[in-house]
Amino acid sequence: MKLRSPTRFSRRHSRLVAAVLLCVVASVLYTSCSTLPVKTQREDPPALSPEGAKTEAEKAALINWLASYAVKEQQSSGVPASITIAQAILETGWMRAETPVRRKMVLEAKNLFGIKGVGPAGSVEIPTTEYEGRRKYTITDKFRAYHTYAESFEDHSHLLTTSSYYTGALKFRNDPHKYIEEVAKNYATDPEYATEVWSIVTRYNLTRFDKNE
């Protein structure tokens, strides 16, 4: 009877063991990759000084952060991302938080759109400038507070798409300029509000974030 060569058997055995080990390693790697945590959207804005975004680089970083939420909201609500971004910039003064009033609004309440009332996290009382015609006056009013900045974006979209005040603007969601003109009629008492929002849109080419397809 002819016996197998020990060397030949050893080589075949080694190849078998190597193949098994390779399968085990591949399986472990597949499981590890499939269970890696999904990268989540950044909640907090980019690091800024108390005076907010001042340099062009800081402004670009802030715009991109705002856009990450605004584009998502447009996909679900239709509110133009360009308008959402510009409103947040105008209402927060580029995320300025150097005074107690602004800290309350921007950092404590996480209210990016100056929406009054009571929010998911309650409210904060803040002095605000209102207009009666061209006459300015200051009052203290309640502004909505949120647990996260994401809630502020969601509430802004919800307000603009469900409130009867903005029903007339809905048909202009594919025309950001006309849209903000309609929204501004009830959103703010400042007669220049729509002009100020649109000037930010045009200066920073924010319509590039709009998804109208």
Encode pLDDT of 151-170 as tens digits: 999 999 999 999 999 999 99
Answer whether 41's CB lies under 8 Å from 68's CB: yes
Question: By mean pLDDT, which of 5-9, 16-20, 33-37, 99-103 is the weakest?
Answer: 33-37
**Predicted confidence (pLDDT) per residue in 131-154, tens digit:** 887 788 888 999 999 999 999 999
Largest distance between two CA atoms of the chain: 113
**Domains contained in the chain, CATH given:** 56-209 (1.10.530.10)
What value does the mean pLDDT take over residues 182-208?
Answer: 97
Question: What share of the chain in percent tops pLDDT 90?
Answer: 69
> What burial class does residue 111 get, using C-beta atoms within 10 Å of its C-beta: 0-12 exposed, 13-18 middle, 19+ buried?
buried
Residue 38: is its pLDDT beyond 80? no
Element (H, E) at 25: helix 6-34
What value does the mean pLDDT take over residues 187-199?
Answer: 96
CA atoms within 13 A on the CB side of 127: 6
Residue 211: is its pLDDT beyond 90? no
Cα–Cα nearest to 80, from 163, 171, 149, 150:
171
- pTM (two decimals): 0.78
* Rounded Cα–Cα distance for residues 172 and 78 (Å): 10
How many other β-carbons are positioned within 10 Å of the β-carbon of residue 9? 11
In the structure, what pLDDT confidence band is assigned to residue 17 with cuts at 50, 70 and 90? very low
In the structure, what pLDDT confidence band is assigned to residue 42 with cuts at 50, 70 and 90? low
pLDDT of residue 24: 39
What value does the mean pLDDT take over residues 45-65?
Answer: 94
* Rounded Cα–Cα distance for residues 44 and 195 (Å): 28
pLDDT of residue 36: 34
- Pinpoint the alpha helices (H) of 48-167: 56-77, 81-92, 100-102, 149-162
